């Protein structure tokens, strides 16, 4: 650094003084919300430390002016690089230390100081190195967008001032701001004194400013812009609670859970009566400062106002993601997981206990169950007292027995919902096609029962019992797009085979093991004409029909022997030529003399073949192909005439081209092994590239001889049937170095004459297919009994025995002791083990009325004043689809009119009771009969419920359902 740069700053104190002052500030300064800290480039700061530690004012380690150049992406925008690491790329210094360093050393010209605020996040204080970067624009001109950065501690008013200055908004104009987080939805930033953090404004969002019109209206209130506004819905009066929820993008899981809770009468009435306002707990460290409760209250009040067809729960979604990072973004999640979080969050936000006392839990130690249960419930209420506990919490008894010392431990634990298992079948039904060795037999479709954890050999064994074919003579393959996607070995697991796969089982002939080879046979159809434009004279080919697997002798793999074998194997749908049919072709012998040498600029005039509908041009460079083409296309008397007429001008030929049966197989590069991902891609989209046949010789004169023409030609190919490969050992048509694949190539005319497509596609159904496949059905009572059976703890979750003084795999039994007013039952449809993952689609028969738990309760007799145990169904959360995808909806009964409705995001329709019990039922809500109130309104007559398509409210895309896109910005009502 030059002397001039050094003199630009004030004269600093001595080096020891500098070191002492800065180190003291770094050591003693604590983080306080709202304080400013500064980012300093790490290398500069380390050099300064070396300078002051040396104690030499004239040292060469003098750091010079503060220079943060290495922290910026470029020196035009001064945008901070992403993913900078503290104490590696930069250091943070408090404001007082920064100002001292700046006064002593100055800063490189034009560089902005990197001031950052300390923000108070939900669980920690931290310096906000990366502030929120948002886009700003005016409602009147949304094309003009600027980027600005704000601290999460800045309030909305500071954003409004910055926007007025940036867009030259006239002084005194009345403004309001909207936060836009998707293409179609906005929400109002009502409180300008709230911080950026509290409003959940995050990087990538857009803030829109609008100014009041001269007529006193707001631009966003116009119907074409604000379709969900008060003005637009003033005329609508609907049944309270019969209200859709807009899908914000994969948020059907949240909408389903909210609809079920919305139709839980005691909880909804608690919020509609604003009872929550008196019980909001802002100090509970386990809570969310009342924000989840307030956001939920806003949704419920909108849904039960009777003024909305559908509500946009964006604020609620943002709050949930803010306090539960697993729900951030717009990925699909589980409605039961959302329910669990929400019930816990509402409980802590509404907990009437402000200071939780520590209570040591006691074991039963032989005391009576009633005494231990009352003590456990009393202790629970001393720490947990809310509307959620009042409504949803029950008590079960947990009994653990040590397998070694037989110590019995009894505790009573509260629960908010019951997660009950479904009986898991150990068997699986598979549908497969059996291809017999008899060439005249059609494939037979079978339905077999196999062990769910079985192997491919088990499938063959089950099929053997139906076909009387030994399983050792079977091979199983997955067929996709006319090719073998996978050929299975006997010891592979059946879990590799999905229900949607097309599985073929082929019967094989019995040969000596050392002399046999399993040959995979594809059928291909060649295009009429060669693809000369690709730089080669290759024919394009397309796979068709069903591939075959054959056991052949290694010594019988010549072209002629395979031709006869294939012809025999395809006898059912390939007609052999009639002796009277003329199937002769010309066999050519090359002459050394070239037919033509004359070319103009290396390009000859074309020759037109009249058999082509496009009269495809062929250059004289490809006369080698044409000479054979002529030989095959015209009679011997016509050959000389056609040859004499070949000139640089165009000549028309009539032909019906067929292939040479004795084509030599040219070596080709072996394709690299495909990865599983590539195989999956190949299975998802067919990619049939042309197969290049052998390269033809340069154009020469040929002598012609007559010979018998073949129906098809044989070509060694790769596993996809697209790339040709070299010949095998001893001139055989296949290579034995790996799984051999061959293709028989059909000329289109020959295929049309001798290949019967209708017959080739035929199959028959075995009697096993006629038996209707019964869907597994279980009773809810069976699942509850399974929940209360004795089980052994897993190795990952052992129990510490206080007697043995070590962890043990104890036996555990759960029993129901007391039940809540509203009982939530979660059906554990998603089964996860060490080896398998699956969704259980069993139909669980659950009653809509009179679900009686008296036989399940451990307490057989109820004392005076204790509630009965009979329940009626009030709501169901449904899940359609599989493990990785799916769609959530819900059924719910309106508390005011007793009518059932079906809620599918923003669409709501009437439902009947016979529609509710399906294999999609996932979470059940039951209300205890003694607490249920009679409907205050008459049940509406059947017919379409008040509903609109999603485009009338807002639009979004769900994981299963895709709704129409809207071209306007929807803003939430004031």
171-185, 494-508, 549-563, 596-610: segment of lowest average pLDDT: 596-610
The model's pLDDT over 378-396, given as tens digits with 9 standing for 90+, comes to 999 999 999 999 999 999 9
37-51, 97-111, 327-341, 586-600: segment of lowest average pLDDT: 586-600
Provide the edge-to-edge strand list for the sheet that holds 394-401: 408-415, 394-401, 811-818, 791-792
Length of the chain: 974
Cα of first residue to Cα of last residue in the chain, in angstroms, is: 59
Asked if pLDDT for residue 43 goes beyond 90, the answer is: yes
Task: Give pLDDT, residue 294.
Answer: 80
The model's pLDDT over 58-91, given as tens digits with 9 standing for 90+, comes to 788 899 999 999 999 888 878 888 889 999 999 9
**How far apart, in whole angstroms, are the C-alpha atoms of residue 554 and residue 730?**
10
Asked whether the CA dihedral 531, 534, 540, 542 is positive or negative, the reply is negative
Task: Give pLDDT, residue 471.
Answer: 93
- pLDDT tier for residue 257 given thresholds of 50, 70 and 90: very high
Task: Count helices and strands (H / E) in the chain.
Answer: 22, 45
Give the residue, 678 or 730, on which the prediction is more confident.
730
**How far apart, in whole angstroms, are the C-alpha atoms of residue 595 and residue 640?**
13
The model's pLDDT over 582-612, given as tens digits with 9 standing for 90+, comes to 566 555 444 443 433 333 333 333 333 333 3
Tell the burial category of 354 from Cβ atoms under 10 Å away from its Cβ (0-12, 13-18, 19+). Answer: exposed
- pLDDT tier for residue 649 given thresholds of 50, 70 and 90: very low
Contacting residues for 11 by C-beta, under 8 A, at least 6 apart: none
Most confident of 73-87, 466-480, 674-688: 466-480
Closest alpha carbon to 526 in 727, 761, 668, 711: 711
Is the distance from CB of 260 to CB of 823 less than 8 angstroms? no
Asked if pLDDT for residue 577 goes beyond 80, the answer is: yes
DSSP run (H or E) holding 569: helix 559-569
Task: Give pLDDT, residue 508.
Answer: 92
Residue 534, phi then psi, degrees to nearest 5: -85, 0
Task: Give pLDDT, residue 145.
Answer: 92
Tell the burial category of 584 from Cβ atoms under 10 Å away from its Cβ (0-12, 13-18, 19+). Answer: exposed
User: For the chain, percent helix, then strand, then coil, each to nearest 5?
Assistant: 25, 30, 45
Average pLDDT, integer, range 692-720: 64
Q: Reduced to 3 states, what is the DSSP secondary structure of residue 915? A: helix
- pLDDT tier for residue 548 given thresholds of 50, 70 and 90: very high
The model's pLDDT over 207-218, given as tens digits with 9 standing for 90+, comes to 999 885 543 445
The CA-based angle 396-340-303, given to 5 degrees, is 125
The model's pLDDT over 404-422, given as tens digits with 9 standing for 90+, comes to 898 888 889 999 999 998 8
Closest alpha carbon to 506 in 476, 486, 535: 476
The model's pLDDT over 307-317, given as tens digits with 9 standing for 90+, comes to 888 888 888 89
Question: Taking the CA atoms of the chain, what radius of gyration do you get in angstroms?
Answer: 40
Closest alpha carbon to 93 in 20, 13, 24, 6: 24
Task: Give pLDDT, residue 662.
Answer: 36
The model's pLDDT over 931-961, given as tens digits with 9 standing for 90+, comes to 888 888 888 754 445 444 433 333 333 444 4
**Domain at 15-119, CATH from 1.10.3720.10, 3.30.2230.10, 3.40.50.1220, 1.10.10.10:** 3.30.2230.10
Task: Give pLDDT, residue 475.
Answer: 95
81-85, 172-176, 343-347, 653-657: segment of lowest average pLDDT: 653-657
The model's pLDDT over 281-301, given as tens digits with 9 standing for 90+, comes to 878 888 888 889 988 987 898
- Active-site pick, 137, 186, 200, 252: 252
Kindly list the distances between the CA atom of residue 201 and the CA atoms of 153, 175, 745, in Å, as whole numbers in the listed order.
11, 18, 63
Average pLDDT, integer, range 367-385: 91
DSSP E strands in 464-554: the ranges are: 474-480, 483-487, 503-507, 516-530, 539-553
- pLDDT tier for residue 174 given thresholds of 50, 70 and 90: low
CATH class of segment(s) 132-211: alpha beta
Structure token pair of residue 370 = 């009633």
Is the distance from CB of 811 to CB of 401 less than 8 angstroms? yes
Task: Share the mean pLDDT of the chain.
Answer: 78
Give the residue, 465 or 298, on which the prediction is more confident.
465
DSSP run (H or E) holding 36: strand 36-41
Residue 643, phi then psi, degrees to nearest 5: -65, -40
Asked whether the CA dihedral 78, 81, 84, 87 is positive or negative, the reply is negative
296-305, 574-583, 709-718: segment of lowest average pLDDT: 574-583
Task: Give pLDDT, residue 921.
Answer: 94
Q: 3-state secondary structure string, 596-655?
A: CCCCECCECCCEEECCCCCCCEECHHHHHHHHHHHHHHCCHHHHHHHHHCCCCCCCEECC
Task: Give pLDDT, residue 627.
Answer: 36
**DSSP β-bridge partners for residue 928:** 871
Helix ranges (DSSP H) in 324-416: 335-349, 369-383, 387-392
Domain chopping of the chain, boundaries: 15-119, 132-211, 244-421+781-928
Asked if pLDDT for residue 673 goes beyond 50, the answer is: no
**Domain at 244-421+781-928, CATH from 3.90.70.10, 3.20.20.450, 3.30.70.890, 3.20.20.100:** 3.90.70.10
Asked if pLDDT for residue 345 goes beyond 60, the answer is: yes
DSSP E strands in 773-920: the ranges are: 777-779, 791-792, 799-801, 806-808, 811-818, 822-828, 830-832, 837-839, 843-845, 851-852, 870-880, 887-893, 900-904, 907-910
**How far apart, in whole angstroms, are the C-alpha atoms of residue 259 and residue 243?**
9
Q: Give the distance, in angstroms, between the CA of residue 629 and the centroid of all CA atoms in the same chain.
A: 53
The CA-based angle 792-795-799, given to 5 degrees, is 65
Structure token pair of residue 61 = 């380690």
Average pLDDT, integer, range 446-470: 92
**How far apart, in whole angstroms, are the C-alpha atoms of residue 825 and residue 926?**
8
Task: Give pLDDT, residue 606.
Answer: 36
Task: Give pLDDT, residue 204.
Answer: 85
Task: Give pLDDT, residue 77.
Answer: 79
Asked if pLDDT for residue 264 goes beyond 90, the answer is: yes
**How far apart, in whole angstroms, are the C-alpha atoms of residue 209 and residue 189?**
10
Q: Reduced to 3 states, what is the DSSP secondary structure of residue 93? A: strand
β-bridge pairing 921-928 and 822-828: antiparallel
Asked if pLDDT for residue 647 goes beyond 70, the answer is: no
Structure token pair of residue 538 = 């290759």
Asked if pLDDT for residue 194 goes beyond 70, the answer is: yes
Residue 727 exposure: Cα atoms within 13 Å on the Cβ side: 16
Asked if pLDDT for residue 111 goes beyond 50, the answer is: yes
The model's pLDDT over 831-878, given as tens digits with 9 standing for 90+, comes to 766 555 677 888 899 999 999 988 888 775 555 556 678 999 999 999
- Active-site pick, 42, 347, 446, 887: 887
Task: Give pLDDT, residue 426.
Answer: 79
- pLDDT tier for residue 700 given thresholds of 50, 70 and 90: very low
Q: Answer yes or no: 252 catalytic.
A: yes
Give the residue, 145 or 6, on which the prediction is more confident.
145
Task: Give pLDDT, residue 555.
Answer: 81
**How far apart, in whole angstroms, are the C-alpha atoms of residue 468 and residue 464?**
5
């Amino acid at each position: 650094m030059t002397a001039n740069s050094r003199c630009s700053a004030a004269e600093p104190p001595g080096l020891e003084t500098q070191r002492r002052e800065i180190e003291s500030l770094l050591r003693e300064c604590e983080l306080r919300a709202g304080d400013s800290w500064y980012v300093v480039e790490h290398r500069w700061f380390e050099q300064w430390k070396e300078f002051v530690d040396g104690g030499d004012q004239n040292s060469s380690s003098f750091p010079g002016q503060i220079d943060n150049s290495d922290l910026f992406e470029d020196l035009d925008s001064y945008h901070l690089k992403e993913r900078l690491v503290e104490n590696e790329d930069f250091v943070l210094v408090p404001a007082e230390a920064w100002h001292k360093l700046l006064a002593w050393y100055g800063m490189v010209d034009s560089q902005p100081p990197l001031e950052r605020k300390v923000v108070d996040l939900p669980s920690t204080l931290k310096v906000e190195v990366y502030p929120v970067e948002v886009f700003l624009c005016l409602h009147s001109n949304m094309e003009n967008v600027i980027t600005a950065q704000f601290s999460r501690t800045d309030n909305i008013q500071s954003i409004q001032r910055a926007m007025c200055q940036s867009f030259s908004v006239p002084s005194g104009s009345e403004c309001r701001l909207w936060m836009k987080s998707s293409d179609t939805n906005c929400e109002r930033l009502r409180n300008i004194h709230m911080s950026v953090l509290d409003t959940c404004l995050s990087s990538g969002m857009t803030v829109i400013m609008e100014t009041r019109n001269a007529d006193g209206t707001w631009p966003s209130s116009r119907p074409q812009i604000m379709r969900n506004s008060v003005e637009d819905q003033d005329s609508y009066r609907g049944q309270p609670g019969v209200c859709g929820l807009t899908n914000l993008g994969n948020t059907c899981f949240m909408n389903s859970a909210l609809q079920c809770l919305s139709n839980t009468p005691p909880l909804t009435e608690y919020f509609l009566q604003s009872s929550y306002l008196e019980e909001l707990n802002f100090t509970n460290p386990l809570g969310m400062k009342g924000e989840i409760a307030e956001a939920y209250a806003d949704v419920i009040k909108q849904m039960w106002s009777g003024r909305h067809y559908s509500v946009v729960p964006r604020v609620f979604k943002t709050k949930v993601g803010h306090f539960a990072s697993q729900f951030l973004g717009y990925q699909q999640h589980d409605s039961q997981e959302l329910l669990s979080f929400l019930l816990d969050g509402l409980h802590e936000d509404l907990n009437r206990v402000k200071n939780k006392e520590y209570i040591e839990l006691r074991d039963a130690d032989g005391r009576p169950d009633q005494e231990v249960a009352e003590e456990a419930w009393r202790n629970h209420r001393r720490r947990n007292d809310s509307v959620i506990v009042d409504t949803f919490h029950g008590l079960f008894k947990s009994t653990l027995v040590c397998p070694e010392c037989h110590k019995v431990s009894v505790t009573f634990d509260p629960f908010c919902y019951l997660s009950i298992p479904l009986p898991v079948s150990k068997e699986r039904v598979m549908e497969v096609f059996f291809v017999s060795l008899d060439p005249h037999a059609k494939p037979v479709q079978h339905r077999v029962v196999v062990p769910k954890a079985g192997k491919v050999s088990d499938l063959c064994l089950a099929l053997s019992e139906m076909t009387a074919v030994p399983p050792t003579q079977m091979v199983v393959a997955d067929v996709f797009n006319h090719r073998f996607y996978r050929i299975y070995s006997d010891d592979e697991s059946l879990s590799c085979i999905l229900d949607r796969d097309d599985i073929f089982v082929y019967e094989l002939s019995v040969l000596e093991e050392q002399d046999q080879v399993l040959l995979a046979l594809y059928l291909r159809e060649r295009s009429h004409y060669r693809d000369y434009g690709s730089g080669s004279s290759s024919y394009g080919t397309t796979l068709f029909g069903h591939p075959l697997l054959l056991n052949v002798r290694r010594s019988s793999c010549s072209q002629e022997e395979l031709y006869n074998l294939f012809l025999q194997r395809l006898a059912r749908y390939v007609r052999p030529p009639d002796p009277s049919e003329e199937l002769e072709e010309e066999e050519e012998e090359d002459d050394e003399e070239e037919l033509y040498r004359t070319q103009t600029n290396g390009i000859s005039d074309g020759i037109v073949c009249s058999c082509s509908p496009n009269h495809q041009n062929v250059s004289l460079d490809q006369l080698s192909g044409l000479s054979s083409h002529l030989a095959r296309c015209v009679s011997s008397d016509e050959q000389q005439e056609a040859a004499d007429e070949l000139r640089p001008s165009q000549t028309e030929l009539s032909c019906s081209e067929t292939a040479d049966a004795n084509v030599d197989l040219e070596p080709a590069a072996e394709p690299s092994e495909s990865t599983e991902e590539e195989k999956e891609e190949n299975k998802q989209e067919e990619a049939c590239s042309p197969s290049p046949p052998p390269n033809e010789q340069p154009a020469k004169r040929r002598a012609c001889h007559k010979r018998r023409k073949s129906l098809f030609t044989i070509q060694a190919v790769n596993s996809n049937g697209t790339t040709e490969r070299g010949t095998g050992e001893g001139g055989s048509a296949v290579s034995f170095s790996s799984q051999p694949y061959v293709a028989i190539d059909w000329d289109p005319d020959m295929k049309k004459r001798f290949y019967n497509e209708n017959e080739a596609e035929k199959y028959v159904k075995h009697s096993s297919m006629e038996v209707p496949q019964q869907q597994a059905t279980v009773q809810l009572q069976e699942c509850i009994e399974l929940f209360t059976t004795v089980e052994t703890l897993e190795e990952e979750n052992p129990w510490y025995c206080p007697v043995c003084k070590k962890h043990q795999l104890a036996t555990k039994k759960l029993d129901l002791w007391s039940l809540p007013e509203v009982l939530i039952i979660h059906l554990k449809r998603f089964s996860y083990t060490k080896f398998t993952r699956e969704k259980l689609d069993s139909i669980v028969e659950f009653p809509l009325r009179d679900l009686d738990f008296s036989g399940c309760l451990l307490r057989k007799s109820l004392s005076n004043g204790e509630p009965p145990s009979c329940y009626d169904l009030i709501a169901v959360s449904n899940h359609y689809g599989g493990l990785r995808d799916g769609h959530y909806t819900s059924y719910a009964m309106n508390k005011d009119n007793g009518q059932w409705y079906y809620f599918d995001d923003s669409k709501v329709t009437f439902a009947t009771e016979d529609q509710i019990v399906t294999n999609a039922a996932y979470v059940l809500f039951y209300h205890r009969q003694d607490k249920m109130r009679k409907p205050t309104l008459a049940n509406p007559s059947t017919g379409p419920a008040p509903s609109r398509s999603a485009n009338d409210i807002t639009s979004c895309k769900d994981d299963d359902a895709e709704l129409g896109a809207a071209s306007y910005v929807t803003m939430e009502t004031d």
